[in-house]
Amino acid sequence: MQQTNVLSGIREAHEQVQRNEQEVARRVAAARELGLSWSAIGSELGVSKQAAWERFGKNDPHPNRGQPPEEN
């Protein structure tokens, strides 16, 4: 395999990861718009509700977005 192909493959894989991350963020925002809890979102991501909130909470459309999750 040539170096150019390997480097090109790295760039393409990285771009795909970035697109996937953006899609996850959009879907998390949509879930929050529907009122789904951080517990439910975290469960789908395989992380705790706190970890989900820490990763995506800054874009939370709900007014309490600055607070760590309690029940939501």
Q: How many structural domains comprise the chain? A: 1
Residue in 68, 4, 66 with CA at minimum distance from that of residue 38: 68
C-alpha distances in angstroms, 40 versus 10, 33, 49, 55? 33, 13, 8, 14
Q: How far apart are CA 36 and CA 52, in angstroms?
A: 12
Could you tell me if residue 66 is inside a domain?
no
Could you tell me if residue 45 is inside a domain?
yes
Query: Which domain, by its residues, includes 51?
Result: 3-59
Residue in 20, 63, 70 with CA at minimum distance from that of residue 45: 20
- The tally of CA atoms less than 13 A away on the side-chain side of residue 13 is 6
Could you tell me if residue 28 is inside a domain?
yes
pLDDT tens per residue, range 48-69: 999 999 999 987 876 564 455 5
Look at residue 10 and tell me whether its pLDDT is greater than 60. Answer: yes
Could you tell me if residue 68 is inside a domain?
no
Q: Rounded mean pLDDT of the chain?
A: 88
pLDDT number for residue 48: 97
